Amino acid sequence: MSQHPTDGRLTPLFPTQIEKGFGASRYRPPEELPVVGVCQGRGRRLEQQVRSQVPCYPGVYGMYDVQGRLLYIGKAKQLRQRLLSYFRSHSRPPKAEKIIAQTRRLVWESCGDEFAALLRELELIQTLLPRYNVVGLPGRQRYHYVCLTPPPASYLQVTPQPPRRALAVYGPLALRRRSEEAVRRLNDWFGLRDCSNRIPLHFRDQSELFAESLSPGCLRWELQQCLGPCVAACSRQEYQAAVNRLRAFLDGRDRSLLTTLRQRMQEAAERLEYEKALALRDRLTALEWLDARLRLLRQARRGPTWVYPLTGWDGQQRWYLLHRGQVVAVCFAAAAPAECIQLLRRHRISPSRSTSDLPQPPARVDTVLLVAAWFRHHPDEQQRLLTPAQILAAAAACTDTIVRSEQ
């Protein structure tokens, strides 16, 4: 069931707008008019309409039940082929069978390309809250953060919301169990405590008026997995040095930890110490997962501004303006150099201005992850990215060509 109180119900005015598709989109050029359509019926009748009316373009589709409630939003590289797969009883998954059994109306809308279809699908899911969609729904995907607590004895923890006094915050991330496993491994490796803040701290360089016998609050110090700030086993400088090494790993400045683990795992395997090699492999897997996710977020947020040109099914080229992992504007490839410059100036982007000076666009993290995943799955597409300087240089060259031709 949907977590939204309307449970996917349509507003009174929405049925009259279905004939025009799903409405405006921020991931489509303003002048673009998508091809839209509606198929109604059930079973064989609905399948025949899909076969005869739905094109083979990239696009998105929505399925509604007899009461007009939105069941599911999907995207397709080829709409007709994807929708016909719902009617193949021998190959469709149980979820698709359940959805198509309740469907009485299909609404579809073309998109310029597969990338646009991915963005449009996420936009519609977050706006219309379909009943059977999970990914992209607010509240369904519960993100969390890996935080470094404030001094004097900082340590890593996983929280749903980063505290204000946190020394460093990383995320947001999905799959909390995997994050908790990686955080536990990191605290053990660098010897950081993970006990309650109510346990008093006693550093070795901390003078005590009345010396007392101290006992550790857990077994981690005896297992050599903690520097022991509760039993005065380390100084403040030693503990802070471990925290600094941890931050260097999380910031991507020092990834030697992964190299060390790989070498120790291989050495243990060569000595036929398979249990030790297996334990090192588990630790390495957890840390590689966290490192990959944080590296992905860093690339998305700190990366430069790009113009991503894509040619759609209609032969027109669309420009996706990417900034800090977000699609902040979409337009057709400019027919004149002035339109190129106008697009960049509209979003205050200059080749001489640092991207860190620009305001962060207000958008959900789901879009950042979607864009990052697109280029991760299509690494060759990164070669097509254009910088604002390249766009302006091409525009200036085009202007000179036009001037010389007119003379």
Model confidence at 229, in pLDDT bands (50, 70, 90)?
Answer: confident
User: How far apart, in whole angstroms, are the C-alpha atoms of residue 174 and residue 179?
Assistant: 8
pLDDT of 217 higher than 80: no
First to last CA, the chain: 68
pLDDT of 71 higher than 90: yes
pLDDT at 187: 93
pLDDT at 165: 86
Out of 72-81, 176-185, 283-292, 344-353, pick the least confident: 344-353
| pLDDT higher at 387 or 248 | 248
Ranges of each domain in the chain: 14-128, 144-301, 306-406
| pLDDT higher at 366 or 65 | 65
The answer to whether 98 touches 65, Cβ cutoff 8 Å, is no
**Segment 191-211 mean pLDDT:** 73
CATH topology of domain 14-128: GIY-YIG endonuclease (3.40.1440)
pLDDT at 398: 56
pLDDT of 14 higher than 50: no
Percentage of the chain modeled with pLDDT above 70: 78
| pLDDT higher at 394 or 12 | 394
Model confidence at 207, in pLDDT bands (50, 70, 90)?
Answer: low
User: How far apart, in whole angstroms, are the C-alpha atoms of residue 60 and residue 73?
Assistant: 7
pLDDT at 336: 47
**Segment 188-193 mean pLDDT:** 91
The pTM of this model reads 0.63
Compute the mean pLDDT over every residue in the chain, rounded to the nearest whole number: 80
pLDDT at 69: 92
pLDDT of 209 higher than 60: no
Model confidence at 332, in pLDDT bands (50, 70, 90)?
Answer: confident
| pLDDT higher at 354 or 227 | 227
**Segment 52-69 mean pLDDT:** 93
**Segment 369-397 mean pLDDT:** 80
Say how far residue 177 (Cα) sits from the centre of its chain.
18
Residue 185, C-beta contacts closer than 8 angstroms, at least 6 positions apart: 283, 286, 287
pLDDT at 106: 93
Residue 97, C-beta contacts closer than 8 angstroms, at least 6 positions apart: 89
Model confidence at 301, in pLDDT bands (50, 70, 90)?
Answer: low
User: How far apart, in whole angstroms, are the C-alpha atoms of residue 9 and residue 71?
Assistant: 9
| pLDDT higher at 264 or 401 | 264
pLDDT at 2: 34
In order of 5, 6, 15, 126, 384, the CA distances from 9 in angstroms are 9, 5, 11, 14, 41
User: How far apart, in whole angstroms, are the C-alpha atoms of residue 233 and residue 216?
Assistant: 10
The answer to whether 52 touches 35, Cβ cutoff 8 Å, is no
Count Cβ neighbours within 10 Å for each residue of 223-234 and write b for 16 or more, e otherwise. Answer: eebbbbbbbbbb
Model confidence at 9, in pLDDT bands (50, 70, 90)?
Answer: very low
pLDDT at 89: 81
pLDDT of 38 higher than 70: yes
**Segment 266-293 mean pLDDT:** 93
pLDDT at 136: 52
The answer to whether 385 touches 308, Cβ cutoff 8 Å, is yes
How confident is the model over 82-102, as pLDDT tens digits?
999 999 888 788 888 899 999
Say how far residue 23 (Cα) sits from the centre of its chain.
25
Nearest to 100 by CA among 125, 117, 83: 83
